[in-house]
Amino acid sequence: MQQLVGQWPSGLPAPRQLGDQGIVTAIAPGLPSDLLLNRPDLRADEARLRGGNANIGAARAAFLPQITLTGSYGTASSQLSDLFAAGTTSWLFVPRLTLPLFDYGERRANLDLAWTRRHTAVTRYKSDVQQAFREVRDGLTVRKWLPLQVEALKYTVAAEHARVQLAGHQYDNGSVAFIEVLDAQRALFTEQQRLVQMRRAKLTNAVDLYRALGGGRVDNLMPTEAST
């Protein structure tokens, strides 16, 4: 109402930096891989599989590894890391079909077209599952070292700030030229920019992980279906 009548709003909370607003929260250990089923891409893939009369339970059992995504302190679990070749993005998980994926009892004259559509849907599902696990692994890996980088840059900024003050005192006493003050200020500004960028990367990583994990909702998982 105050804004509508042109008055400055009152009673607002004190402004806080983004880093102090709880955007980056702790990630619990032992998060299940079923969280990924909340991702829009996997939901869309499973909808296409349902359209081809696929057994979604069999598809998940075959192509979606049932593992824990996070280990201690919210870092990537060893099970997640073992899904990829060391130091690469190569997928090592081998699918195993224990149940028929499609009901082949309803064959029609357009069998070739139906097979092509089903094969495309399965291929896309497998690819998106791999991408989902890859994004989670990469996000958790980056999340592990970003706070260390932020803390290191805080010390660097503090050191450069002290250098600016020292250069200013020396200039006031006539012991150095003003170029020394300018160099110190330039170095401080550079490190401050790096700190801002690293803090932004930390916040971006939190958003990316939230998206990669399907929103992080454990109570909103799609139920596993035995068949469709």
Banded pLDDT at 22 (limits 50, 70, 90): low
> pLDDT per residue over 28-39, tens digit each?
889 999 999 999
Report the distance separating Cα 130 and Cα 191, nearest Å: 38
Residue scoring higher pLDDT (85 or 12) = 85
Query: Quick one: tokens of 110?
Result: 């357009």
Whether domain 26-85+99-212 has CATH 1.20.1600.10: the reply is: yes
**Amino acid in the structure at residue 44:** A
To which residue do tokens 């990829």 refer? Answer: 84
Banded pLDDT at 89 (limits 50, 70, 90): confident
Residue scoring higher pLDDT (104 or 75) = 75
Torsion sign across C-alpha atoms 103, 106, 109, 113:
negative
Residue scoring higher pLDDT (55 or 1) = 55
| Averaged pLDDT for residues 170-191 | 95
DSSP 8-state assignment for residue 67: -
Confidence (pTM): 0.77
Percent of the chain having pLDDT more than 90?
50
Average pLDDT, the chain: 83
Quote the pLDDT of residue 162: 97
Give the HSE-up count for residue 205: Cα atoms under 13 Å, Cβ half-sphere: 23
Listed in sequence order, the residues at least 6 apart from 22 whose beta carbon sits closer than 8 Å to its beta carbon are none
How far does CA 46 lie from the centroid of its chain? Answer: 22
Whether residue 227 is predicted with pLDDT greater than 50 in this model: the reply is: no
Report the distance separating Cα 156 and Cα 49, nearest Å: 53
Element holding 194 (H helix, E strand)? helix 178-212
- Do residues 1 and 8 lie in contact, with contact meaning Cβ atoms separated by under 8 Å? no
Element holding 42 (H helix, E strand)? helix 40-51
To which residue do tokens 């593992």 refer? Answer: 67
Whether residue 225 is predicted with pLDDT greater than 60 in this model: the reply is: no
Quote the pLDDT of residue 216: 57
- Do residues 221 and 162 lie in contact, with contact meaning Cβ atoms separated by under 8 Å? no
Whether residue 91 is predicted with pLDDT greater than 80 in this model: the reply is: yes
Burial 153-185 (b: 16+ CB within 10 A, else e): beebbeebbebbeebbeebeeeebeeebbeebb
